[in-house]
Amino acid sequence: MPLDLSARRALAAAALKTAADKPWRDVTVFDFAAAMNAPIEDIAGTTVGDAVDAIEEWLDAEAAKGLRGVDWVATPRDRLFDVVMRRFEAMETVRGGLRAIEIALERDPAAVAQQHLRAVRSARWLLSLAGIDADGVAGVARAQGLAVILAQVRMAWRQDDAGDFVKTMAALDKALRRAEQTFGRFGGFEPPRPEPPAAEPPPAAA
């Protein structure tokens, strides 16, 4: 039976804690159950890869936390920069475990392919948060392109040990500017919408 949302959040936290404590290649679902203080049957059907999915889902949710709508006055590039950085800020809070998982996965070609699929799912969500169409042929292409950018920027983030995001922000800004110059409107980088005109006051009573 699939885990509900609260259980998946607990699974993500357990996986990150476990990854910070032992080599990821040695991790089993029994480690997750122990970290959750739950019997193994409570996570029946779960795999180690499912735990990585749960982590990425939690990061996507954190990127959206507190948002109330799209800032149509900002440029698409600025909107996308903002939501992507929100995700990296969440990643920073679990740097140790997340970094250990990423380093372990990049040594396995099959795991690398799976990571790309996860990045594409996240990219579609981030595009949607930024008010950029992530559906249809163009949307799929945008998601694929942003997934590549996310992977590149994650490498910069892993080297950003000071916690100030200087390398991360520089890499993201450079990649988004390049995408904007190369793909323009097709990439979703249309000009910002103008602010709506102010409502005219009602006519004075005669």
Is pLDDT at 60 greater than 70 in this prediction? yes
- Spatial distance between the Cα atoms of 176 and 48, rounded to a whole number of angstroms: 33
Q: What mean pLDDT do residues 84-94 have?
A: 97
Give pLDDT tens digits for 8-31. 999 999 999 999 999 999 999 999
pTM of the model: 0.87
Q: Which long-range contacts (C-beta less than 8 Å, at least 24 apart) are formed by 73-77?
A: 73/192, 73/193, 73/195, 74/192, 75/189, 75/191, 75/192, 76/130, 76/131, 76/132, 76/180, 76/188, 76/189, 76/190, 76/192, 77/176, 77/177, 77/180, 77/189
Closest CA to 33 of 47, 21, 20, 22: 47
- Which range has the worst mean pLDDT, 60-64, 102-106, 168-172, 188-192? 188-192
Closest CA to 56 of 105, 109, 108: 105
Which pLDDT score is estimated for 202? 63
Q: What mean pLDDT do residues 56-60 have?
A: 98
- Spatial distance between the Cα atoms of 21 and 27, rounded to a whole number of angstroms: 10
Which pLDDT score is estimated for 9? 97
**Could you tell me the pLDDT band of residue 162, with boundaries at 50, 70 and 90?**
confident
- Average pLDDT of every residue of the chain: 90
Is pLDDT at 203 greater than 90 in this prediction? no
Neighbours of 126 (CB within 10 A): 25
Which pLDDT score is estimated for 188? 57
| Residue that has been written with the tokens 């800004």 in this structure | 173
Q: What mean pLDDT do residues 136-151 have?
A: 94
Half-sphere exposure (Cβ direction) of 148: Cα atoms closer than 13 Å: 9
Give pLDDT tens digits for 27-47. 999 999 999 999 999 999 999
Give helix 109-129 / helix 95-105 axis angle, nearest 10°.
130
Q: What mean pLDDT do residues 168-190 have?
A: 80
- Spatial distance between the Cα atoms of 199 and 206, rounded to a whole number of angstroms: 21
Give pLDDT tens digits for 125-135. 999 999 999 99
